[in-house]
Amino acid sequence: MPLQMMEGSIAVAETVRLCRPQVISAYPITPQTHIVEGLASIVADGRLDAEYICVESEFSALSACIGASAAGSRVYSATTSQGLALMAEVVFNSAGMRLPIVMGIANRAISAPLSIWNDQQDSIMMRDSGWLQLYAEDNQEAVDLHVLAYKICEDHDILLPAFVCFDGFILSHVFEPVDIPSQEEVDEFLGPFNPYQQLDVKDPISFGMYATPEYYLEFRYEHDQAVHRAADALRKHGKAFGEKFGRDYSELVEGYRLEDAEVAIIAMGSICGTTKDAIDEMRAEGKKVGLLKIRCFRPFPAADIAKALAHVKTVAVLDKNISLGAKGAVGIEVKDACYGLGIPIYDYVLGLGGRDVRKKDIKKIVELAEKGSGDMFYGLREELL
């Protein structure tokens, strides 16, 4: 298919259509709104044969996905920020019930103060929920990761839900050329939903029972193992995706000009694009800088990161989130992954609440890291403090 110029949200909605969910349950919230509006139109126009449930809250949106998935249907929802926070209890519960639900997250800051703009605090705060977390650098990745997420989640060795995260406004509202796969290709890749078990009067089973101390620990262990196994499932299905669609997703992390880099920048999401441009300019000036993009935050690819960074002298992590009272979540985990390697790793919390991050900021951060200055909020307006 030729590239089409589309808004990110519409590209996502069109891709979800191709995945043929039978039940869509969603509640509108900025900047996710265009996705659910797009899907509503698609269903209204008969371009997708699905039940579209207009729920009264995000809490009910994901709850309805639980019911529909347990009843044997492929499901979709999308949300962001406060919506995800309202869903919190259901997020954890749906993962524990091992239901293969795919949910788009148009990443947005968390209130208070109220902000509709981008950072990644919302999905990061759900990092311990047992959902897979994939992050898109651009709209093409947002499209591809939706298809791939269904494939991984519905794998009977995995059976987990997944967030497909893409930065709110920066990707969701931006027009970019994207390659939307054909229906035939997606059908061949995904196939129809084949539930591992379901609510069925012909074969009655109980879902969502309670576990006493004799059993609970094993449930958590099995869940953790499944999240870890998802790394290999991503590699396997990501490779198959590459063979079918020409875009390879067999790696959980991706290096950019990293092979001979002395300074490595680590980032997730759309900021990677800006970083790549900044790296090109710094390389032209003779600076040996590279990027390690993290595409999959859960499971966290610790071994892949340690391996990719083994040769660098300094690491600068860009965190669009903050674990208040500690540091940025990605920075904390990268330090854990690289424990014992002896590489200085500096964390920079930046871009929160939609604060712009430009190439000059990336360059400035490289300078700070080289000087050994880090673990800070970057870009604060001192006059406001």
- Long-range contact pairs involving 212-221 (C-beta distance under 8 Å, separation at least 24): 219/96
In angstroms, give the least distance from the CB of 88 to another protein.
11
Whether a cis peptide bond, with omega within 30° of 0, leads into 299 is yes
Pairing outcome for strands 253-256 and 289-294: antiparallel
- Min dist CB 327 to another protein, Å, is 32
> Is residue 90 within 8 Å of residue 131, measured between CB atoms?
no
Q: How many of the other CB atoms lie within 10 Å of CB of 336? A: 13
Nearer Cβ to another protein, position 42 or 334?
42
Residues that bind another protein (CB under 8 A): 22-23, 25, 49-51, 53-57, 59-61, 63-73, 75, 89-90, 93-94, 97, 199-201, 204-212, 215
Burial (0-12, 13-18, 19+ Cβ within 10 Å), 67? middle
Identity of the residue, 213 or 325, whose beta carbon is nearer to another protein in the bound complex: 213
Q: Please report how close the Cβ of residue 215 comes to another protein at its closest, in angstroms.
A: 5
- Tell me how far apart the alpha carbons of residues 60 and 62 are, in angstroms, rounded to a whole number: 6
* Comparison of 200 and 356: residue with beta carbon closer to another protein: 200
By beta-carbon proximity to another protein, the closer residue of 175 and 215 is 215
Cα–Cα–Cα angle for 145, 148, 153, rounded to 5 degrees: 115
Label the pairing between strands 296-298 and 132-135. antiparallel
Give whichever of 88 and 190 is closer to another protein, judged by the CB atom. 88
Q: How far is the CB of 225 from another protein (least distance, A)?
A: 18
Closest residue by Cα to residue 136 from 101, 154, 163: 163
Shortest Å distance, C-beta 90 to another protein: 7
Tell me the HSE value of 21 on the side-chain side, using a 13 A CA sphere: 31
Minimum distance from CB of 217 to another protein (Å)? 12
d(Cα 327, Cα 349) in Å, to the nearest integer? 8
Q: How far is the CB of 298 from another protein (least distance, A)?
A: 22
Tokens of residue 163, six digits = 């967030």
Helix (H, G, I), strand (E, B) or coil at 111: coil
Q: Nearer Cβ to another protein, position 175 or 219?
A: 219
Q: Closest CB to another protein among 212 and 382?
A: 212
